[in-house]
Amino acid sequence: MKKIIILFIVTLITLSCTTTKQKEVFEWSDMKVRIEPDINVITNKDNIEVTVLFSELINNEMQKSFIDSVKSIYFFALSENKVLDSTKKSFLQKRKNNFNDNITLCNLFENYKYRVDSILPKDLNFRIELETSNQKYIKNIKPDLSYYIKEDTNQILALNPSYKINENGYIEFSLKAKRLKSAGEEYIPNSESFRVIVMDMKGRLVFSSNYMMNYLQVIGKVRPYEIGETYNYYFVWNMKDNYQKSIPKGRYKAILTIPAVPKHYSKEINFELE
Kindly report whether the peptide bond that precedes residue 224 is cis, defined as omega within 30 degrees of 0. Answer: yes
Sheet holding 265-273, edge to edge: 205-208, 195-200, 250-258, 265-273
Stretch among 38-47, 179-188, 220-229 having the lowest mean pLDDT: 38-47
* Of 176 and 60, the one with more pLDDT: 176
Contacts of 251 (CB under 8 A, 6+ apart): 200, 201, 270, 271, 272
pLDDT at 1 (0 to 100):
55
pLDDT at 18 (0 to 100):
46
Average pLDDT over residues 20-33: 74
pLDDT at 10 (0 to 100):
47
pLDDT at 33 (0 to 100):
67
3 state SS for 88-124? EECCCEEEEEECCCCEEEEEEEEEEEEECCCCCCCCC
pLDDT at 115 (0 to 100):
87
- Residues 61 and 263: their CA atoms lie apart, in Å, by 41
- Residues 226 and 230: their CA atoms lie apart, in Å, by 9
- Residues 49 and 198: their CA atoms lie apart, in Å, by 14
pLDDT digits (tens, 9 = 90+) for 154-164: 789 999 899 99
**CA separation (Å) from 139 to 64, 98, 144, 223, 264?**
23, 30, 16, 30, 18
pLDDT at 244 (0 to 100):
93
pTM of the model: 0.57
Domains of the chain by start residue, with CATH: 24-141 (2.60.40), 155-273 (2.60.40.2360)
Q: What is the largest CA-CA distance in the chain?
A: 92
